A and B are shown apart, each in its own frame.
Chain A
Amino acid sequence: MLARTADNLFWMARHIERAENTARVLDVAHRSALLPLDIEGTEAYLWYAPLNITGCAAGYEVKHGLARADTVTHYMALDPENPSSIYSCLKLARENARSVRGAITSEMWEVINATWLELNRMTWNMDNEKFPDFFDWVKDRSHLFRGVTLGTIHKDIALSFIKLGTFLERADNTARILDVKYHILLPSVNDVGGAADYYQWGSLLRSVSAFEAYRKIYRDVISPLRVAELLILRDDMPRSLHACMNEVEAALIDINGASGQEARRHAGEQHAALHFGRIEDVFAQGLHEYLTDFLSHIAVLGREIRDAYMSCRDHFEPLPVRRSPMLQMQ
């Protein structure tokens, strides 16, 4: 596969996944805003969380200052100037897809293209009440895209690069969502949070579609330790770090290029740590420290993948281009 094609497939998938995750984060923020605020709960406090999770707090502050429901939502959902807004992600995903139309199926292209066209039709008359529908729409489009991808694409390395993009992005997002809540954790991991925590953790679980699963698996009150276990170590949860790294490692093994050895080694190491890890050890290290560490590994892994497969120029020997003797004679 062309290196540029791999790059575009990888980023197409990442951008779609990022759009979905941003929608999830904003959706939860909107729901949380409906709850009675506790002592800390000023509007600004509440609305910094989604900005922090998606890493766009700095850009937001420059433009809008204090966090407010309407401006944060608009900035993260629809602002073309915010490179990680849902709008920008869907636009970039379409551009990636357009560059590699030959490498994806026409159904995949149709979904991405139709998403972009619909977004442009609805964007300019959105008010606060419509946002929950909008977030559902973004999630639906992402589900649809994933379904169409799995249902139509030839299972070759194109799919592997799409999976790499999807699951690296998802792992990154789950880790960020968890990280933003780390400060709520009480000093002793066995302490159970109060009523406010219940809602906080509940909304966190909902944001990654894990609320029902939690109930089924633990049949018990929501405790931070179990939430963390569910989202970090359980590989039967589609958005857990472990599940994501399962997919990342498998995709790298499928690609199996000679230049990807380092990326495969690294992914395997991360995967093994999750596979054999214990939640007590995670907390012993400190959840925040653990997640920060994980995020930096994910970032390095992303770079290794890019170096191995997508910016091959650096790896080829520089080839001197000789002038044609024929042309020199003229």
Chain B
Amino acid sequence: MNTEPSKTYFDEMRSADGLVREIYQPYAAWLSQLPEGTLERKSQEAELLFRRLGITFAVYGESAGSERLIPFDIVPRIFGATEWRRLEKGIKQRVRALNAFLHDIYHGQEIIKAGVISAHQVLDNVLYRKEMQGVDLPNQVYAHIAGIDLVRVAENDFYVLEDNLRTPSGVSYMLENRNTMMRLFPELFANHTVEPVEHYPQMLLDTLREAAPAHVSNPTIVVMTPGSYNSAYFEHAFLASQMGVELVEGQDLFVHQQKVYMYTTEGPQQVHVIYRRVDDDFLDPLAFRPDSALGVPGLLEAYCSGNVSLANGVGTGVADDKSTYLYVPEMIRFYLGETPLLSNVPTWRLSESEDLKYVLAHLPELVVKEVQGSGGYGMLVGPTSSKAEIEAYRQRILAEPENFIAQPTLALSTCPTMVEAGVAPRHVDLRPFVLSGKDIRLVPGGLTRVALREGSLVVNSSQGGGTKDTWVLED
């Protein structure tokens, strides 16, 4: 079994001298006494379990309805409670600032007046929704559900890779991963005090209740999905059922006199909070894309009238844009008067000629991303790309430099992972899910994504990445 630490990357389980880190010691001890072949067998059991449960995601570009399993890795990633609390503080700080920023840019725009960020950067962004100007949201929360992607490069060195404020997904895998681990390894949980994550749906429900229009005391809440062929449909259905609310599609809703109703077997029923997993553009064919069949005509007007709440709010995308990302540390200082606890990855903006020049000269070393891209699509990972790929990408950059940012290739930490050849280190990131209502809360841990291909730094499930259970243990 190869659990040798990597020499060049931070290994979550072993320090450079090969010793197992303290937090991993009980797990490593358990692992070492495991009879040969047990992990392989458990891994197969896990796959069967996932298939039977239908924990799948649909794959774009393949025939309609084709479903795939996200590979599940049975070696957990482990955090100590102390380091987790530190991370948690930084994450909450970041989300608080992002919500303050969103409220500000749709109201007084103080941050622009103060010259911290340019009017062009905010107001000319295609994800900025003028319709939202002056609209007051309950608790001034825009991003009720945020997924903050973190990577680790050293013991105490975490970077925020990106902030996902539109419809971040993956939380169902976090919950099902835990569920599966508890089923496969009850003895591990009996001997470890793993902080629970199972109450996430209850926290989400509380958050959505708190998002209801102020005059509504017992809100009707729904989850809105684009439909069963959406890649994250499993998650939409999962969350609706875990919260005990209806899972609706656009066709199930209609707007009458600026109020939203759903068609039920007992006639129309008013809806107060919509946890929508449909992008802004598709929400309302009258306001946004007229060709959208997924949305509800008149929804935006009902929303702006304050009769229905949307989570996340309309227009949050402007704050998770990869070029706005650069300003988050400034936002923390500006709105909270605090020092940022988590670092940004150093980022070059290709709209700046100096940055552009540097990046074009160093493409093979850098990661270049589209400003509005997501899901790992359309990015260039310099060190693992061919010359031809780099040249093709260079042409794209030259055509529209302002569409791109570039970052150094980070030495993402690795975590022992089951692969065909046995257990070997693979790169991981972490997506905690942050809920903003009256308070900001999150369950300990999050979704760890793992790049299953040796050497790969791309962990996105759409790019063949897998996931693993994430433990927060008492130190």
Partner of B237, one of A101, A114, A312, A321: A101
Residues from 304 to 321 in A contacting B, C-beta threshold 8 Å: 309-310, 312-313, 315-316, 319, 321
B38 at interface (Cβ–Cβ under 8 A)? Answer: no
**Are B265 and A113 touching (Cβ within 8 A)?**
no
A275 at interface (Cβ–Cβ under 8 A)? Answer: no
With a CB–CB cut-off of 8 A, which chain B residues contact A6?
A: 265
B267 at interface (Cβ–Cβ under 8 A)? Answer: yes
Smallest CB gap from B246: residue in A: A2
A99 at interface (Cβ–Cβ under 8 A)? Answer: yes
Bitwise, B252-283 to A at CB < 8 A (1) or not (0) is: 10111000001111111000000000000000
B131 at interface (Cβ–Cβ under 8 A)? Answer: yes
Smallest CB gap from B53: residue in A: A110
B446 at interface (Cβ–Cβ under 8 A)? Answer: no
Residues from 266 to 306 in B contacting A, C-beta threshold 8 Å: 266-268, 286-287, 297-298, 300-301, 304
**Are A312 and B255 touching (Cβ within 8 A)?**
no
B162 at interface (Cβ–Cβ under 8 A)? Answer: no
**Are B264 and A312 touching (Cβ within 8 A)?**
yes
With a CB–CB cut-off of 8 A, which chain A residues contact B254?
A: 316, 319
Q: How many interface contacts (CB-CB < 8 Å) are there between A and B?
A: 104
Question: CA A28 – CA B254 in complex, angstroms?
Answer: 49
A39 at interface (Cβ–Cβ under 8 A)? Answer: no
Bitwise, B226-264 to A at CB < 8 A (1) or not (0) is: 001000011001101100011111011011100000111
With a CB–CB cut-off of 8 A, which chain A residues contact B248?
A: 2
Partner of A3, one of B131, B252, B255, B301: B252
**Are A313 and B263 touching (Cβ within 8 A)?**
yes
Question: CA A106 – CA B172 in complex, angstroms?
Answer: 14
A222 to chain B, nearest CB (A): 43
B51 at interface (Cβ–Cβ under 8 A)? Answer: yes
Partner of B301, one of A106, A257, A324: A324
Most chain A beta-carbon contacts within 10 A, residue among B131, B246, B248: B246
> Size range of the interface on A?
35 or more
B68 to chain A, nearest CB (A): 14
Question: CA A322 – CA B251 in complex, angstroms?
Answer: 18
B79 to chain A, nearest CB (A): 29
Residues from 89 to 117 in A contacting B, C-beta threshold 8 Å: 95, 98-103, 106, 109-110, 113-114, 117
Partner of A117, one of B52, B252, B264, B267: B52
**Are B304 and A324 touching (Cβ within 8 A)?**
yes
Question: CA A257 – CA B265 in complex, angstroms?
Answer: 7
A4 at interface (Cβ–Cβ under 8 A)? Answer: yes
**Are A312 and B263 touching (Cβ within 8 A)?**
yes
Bitwise, B121-159 to A at CB < 8 A (1) or not (0) is: 000000000110000000000000000000000000000
> Quick one: given A4-B249, A117-B52, are A326 and B301 in contact (CB under 8 Å)?
yes
**Are B301 and A312 touching (Cβ within 8 A)?**
no
B54 at interface (Cβ–Cβ under 8 A)? Answer: yes
Question: CA A99 – CA B300 in complex, angstroms?
Answer: 26
With a CB–CB cut-off of 8 A, which chain A residues contact B245?
A: 102
Question: CA A160 – CA B265 in complex, angstroms?
Answer: 12
With a CB–CB cut-off of 8 A, which chain B residues contact A330?
A: 130
Residues from 13 to 69 in B contacting A, C-beta threshold 8 Å: 51-54
Smallest CB gap from A95: residue in B: B228
Smallest CB gap from B242: residue in A: A102
Bitwise, B105-116 to A at CB < 8 A (1) or not (0) is: 000000000000
Question: CA A309 – CA B249 in complex, angstroms?
Answer: 17
A258 at interface (Cβ–Cβ under 8 A)? Answer: yes
A62 at interface (Cβ–Cβ under 8 A)? Answer: no
**Are A259 and B267 touching (Cβ within 8 A)?**
yes
A141 to chain B, nearest CB (A): 14
> Size range of the interface on B?
35 or more
Question: CA A315 – CA B264 in complex, angstroms?
Answer: 11
With a CB–CB cut-off of 8 A, which chain B residues contact A103?
A: 241, 247
Smallest CB gap from B288: residue in A: A327
Question: CA A99 – CA B237 in complex, angstroms?
Answer: 8
Partner of A324, one of B238, B263, B264, B287: B287
With a CB–CB cut-off of 8 A, which chain A residues contact B297?
A: 321
Question: CA A210 – CA B245 in complex, angstroms?
Answer: 42
**Are A2 and B252 touching (Cβ within 8 A)?**
yes
> Quick one: given A4-B249, A113-B54, A326-B304, are A321 and B255 in contact (CB under 8 Å)?
yes
**Are A1 and B265 touching (Cβ within 8 A)?**
yes
With a CB–CB cut-off of 8 A, which chain B residues contact A3?
A: 252, 263-265
**Are A316 and B268 touching (Cβ within 8 A)?**
yes
With a CB–CB cut-off of 8 A, which chain A residues contact B240?
A: 102
B406 to chain A, nearest CB (A): 35
A157 at interface (Cβ–Cβ under 8 A)? Answer: yes
A219 at interface (Cβ–Cβ under 8 A)? Answer: no
**Are B265 and A327 touching (Cβ within 8 A)?**
no
**Are A5 and B246 touching (Cβ within 8 A)?**
yes
Bitwise, A231-272 to B at CB < 8 A (1) or not (0) is: 000000000000000000000000101110000000000000
Smallest CB gap from B131: residue in A: A326
A130 at interface (Cβ–Cβ under 8 A)? Answer: no
With a CB–CB cut-off of 8 A, which chain B residues contact A106?
A: 53, 241
A323 at interface (Cβ–Cβ under 8 A)? Answer: yes
A25 to chain B, nearest CB (A): 29
With a CB–CB cut-off of 8 A, which chain B residues contact A259?
A: 267
Question: CA A309 – CA B267 in complex, angstroms?
Answer: 8
With a CB–CB cut-off of 8 A, which chain B residues contact A315?
A: 267
Question: CA A98 – CA B58 in complex, angstroms?
Answer: 13
Question: CA A309 – CA B263 in complex, angstroms?
Answer: 9
Question: CA A319 – CA B297 in complex, angstroms?
Answer: 11
**Are B267 and A312 touching (Cβ within 8 A)?**
yes
With a CB–CB cut-off of 8 A, which chain B residues contact A310?
A: 265
Question: CA A321 – CA B290 in complex, angstroms?
Answer: 14
B271 to chain A, nearest CB (A): 11
List, sorted by A's number, 7 A–B pairs whose CB atoms are closer than 8 Å: A1-B264, A101-B247, A117-B52, A255-B265, A323-B286, A324-B131, A324-B286
Q: Which residues of B contact A (CB under 8 A)?
A: 51-54, 130-131, 223, 228, 233-234, 237-238, 240-241, 245-249, 251-252, 254-256, 262-268, 286-287, 297-298, 300-301, 304
Nearest first, the 6 A-B pairs at minimum CB distance are: A102-B241, A324-B301, A101-B237, A102-B240, A309-B265, A3-B263
Extra A-B contacts (5), CB below 8 Å, given A1-B266, A110-B54: A98-B228, A98-B237, A102-B237, A161-B265, A319-B256
